């Protein structure tokens, strides 16, 4: 092979179709490494990977992205902790969609320079000799090695393939998921942030397209929720589990109503945790509807100067608002409370709701008692 042929076609002399397949496979493996290893395993601890597959993903990410595991996990955890606030590293609601979509990598690098942030949120990530002395310290060696490999295989076009590999994660993960995933799409769950599901078939970006589902159940390794949604990352996780390469720690269970159930128990707590944002939304709508009705009745009564009845309506409205706030406090304090404490708090809340004399609150309490999780 002449030097000109080597520079033009590399040692593979591959046709265009083969080059396209190679590029897609390489970028897809990188996406899998990000969604399965960095995101679900490292950042959220929703599964445990075997040492062999974990190190493969670390090595692959070093070659194809140069990203540091501790930095990525820390930045993503901070995103969840400060979501849609000034502390969020990449919120389009704060920084603008254009900035996050096209400059997501710069936002990532800016936060990565904050050593306090990385130490605070980056705990539990790999910290062995290879990580400290090669992967973290010399990330440029990895992407440089990938450039040499691509050039040797395909010649000058290998440089273009390498460029695509280098842009793939910054554009799709840092830009599309962090940007569009908080700006445009559909919502299955009424989370307090602006997260959206971009597309129901999570293939191109490894299932990360289902971003609203993830924000609703952040510790679940499965990102699909509806029957028509597909999470290819979950497919790979199940394959790893089948071959003994992964251990799934927790999976979101869908809540359901059992008419025969009439108690508040641990299943109730699990079911509410699985759908708490939807339950919050339902309760808020009930309170708003009751508030409008009571205020309208009060205004009519004021015309006839029936102050005693107006006072009763006012006290009922205050009770309803108080019950709404108390319900939310139970879940705001859930991380510092045991399941038993939450069960007791819920039982007391339901008693107050049922004794309120307000029909819709009594029905709401009854629906909570029927809540359970699918087995």
Per-residue pLDDT averaged across 317-334, rounded?
A: 79
> What's the rounded Cα separation, in Å, for the pair 273 and 266?
11
| pLDDT score for 239 | 97
Structure tokens at 141: 């060696």
| pLDDT score for 256 | 84
Distances (CA, A) of 182 to 88, 212, 334: 12, 8, 26
* Beta-carbon count within 10 A of 136 CB: 18
Q: Is the pLDDT of residue 301 over 70?
A: no
| pLDDT score for 297 | 67
How do residues 212-268 score in pLDDT, each as one tens digit? 999 888 888 999 989 999 999 999 999 999 999 999 987 777 778 888 889 998 888
Task: Give the containing element (helix H, strand E) for 201.
Answer: strand 201-202
Distances (CA, A) of 340 to 137, 166, 263, 265: 47, 49, 14, 8
Share of the chain above pLDDT 90, in %: 43
Whether this prediction's pTM lies above 0.85 is answered by no
- Tell me if 232 sits within 8 A of 202, measured CB to CB: yes
Please, how many CA atoms are within 13 Å of residue 322, restricted to the half-sphere of its CB?
Answer: 10
The structural domains of the chain, with segments of one domain joined by +, span 3-248, 256-373
Q: Is the pLDDT of residue 310 over 70?
A: no
| pLDDT score for 336 | 66
Q: Is the pLDDT of residue 309 over 60?
A: no
The model's confidence at residue 316, banded by pLDDT at 50, 70 and 90, is: confident
**Which among 370, 324, 372, 317 is positioned nearest to 349, based on CA atoms?**
324
Give SS3 for 220: coil
The model's confidence at residue 8, banded by pLDDT at 50, 70 and 90, is: confident
Give SS3 for 251: coil
Burial 330-364 (b: 16+ CB within 10 A, else e): bbeebeeeeeeebbebbeebbeebbebebeebeeb
- CA 116 centroid distance within chain: 23
**Which among 252, 292, 286, 290 is positioned nearest to 272, based on CA atoms?**
252
| pLDDT score for 307 | 60
* Beta-carbon count within 10 A of 16 CB: 8
How do residues 155-197 score in pLDDT, each as one tens digit? 999 999 999 999 998 888 888 899 899 999 999 887 878 899 9
**Which among 227, 228, 181 is positioned nearest to 205, based on CA atoms?**
181
| pLDDT score for 149 | 95
């Amino acid at each position: 092979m002449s030097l000109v042929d080597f520079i033009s076609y590399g040692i593979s002399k591959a046709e265009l179709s083969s080059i396209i397949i190679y590029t897609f496979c390489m970028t897809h493996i990188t996406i899998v490494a990000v969604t399965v290893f960095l995101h679900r395993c490292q950042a959220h601890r929703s599964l445990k990977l075997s040492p062999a597959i974990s190190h493969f993903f670390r090595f692959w990410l070093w070659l194809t992205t140069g990203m540091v595991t501790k930095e990525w996990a820390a930045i993503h955890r901070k995103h969840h902790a400060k979501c849609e606030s000034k502390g969020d590293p990449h919120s389009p609601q704060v920084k603008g969609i254009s900035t996050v979509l096209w400059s997501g990598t710069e936002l990532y690098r800016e936060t990565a320079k904050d050593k306090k942030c990385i130490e605070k949120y980056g705990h539990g990530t790999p910290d062995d000799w290879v990580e400290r002395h090669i992967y973290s310290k010399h990330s440029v060696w990895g992407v440089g090695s990938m450039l040499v490999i691509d050039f040797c295989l395909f010649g000058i076009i290998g440089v273009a393939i390498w460029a695509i590999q280098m842009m793939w994660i910054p554009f799709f993960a840092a830009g599309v998921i962090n940007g569009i995933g908080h700006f445009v799409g559909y919502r299955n769950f009424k989370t307090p942030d602006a997260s959206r599901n971009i597309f129901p078939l999570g293939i191109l970006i490894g299932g990360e397209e289902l971003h609203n589902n993830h924000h609703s159940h952040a510790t679940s390794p499965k990102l699909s929720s509806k029957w028509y949604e597909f999470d290819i990352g979950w497919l790979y996780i199940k394959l790893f589990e089948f071959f003994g390469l992964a251990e799934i720690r927790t999976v979101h269970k869908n809540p359901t109503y059992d008419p025969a159930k009439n108690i508040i128990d641990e299943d109730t707590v699990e079911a509410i945790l699985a759908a708490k944002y939807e339950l919050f939304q339902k309760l808020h709508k009930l309170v708003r509807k009751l508030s409008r009705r009571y205020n309208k009745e009060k205004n009519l009564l004021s015309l006839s100067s029936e102050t005693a009845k107006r006072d009763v309506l006012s006290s009922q409205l205050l009770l309803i608002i108080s019950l709404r706030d108390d319900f939310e406090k139970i879940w705001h304090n859930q991380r510092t409370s045991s399941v038993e404490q939450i069960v007791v708090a819920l039982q007391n809340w339901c008693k107050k709701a049922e004794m309120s004399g307000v029909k819709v609150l009594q029905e709401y309490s009854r629906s909570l008692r029927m809540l359970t999780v699918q087995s």
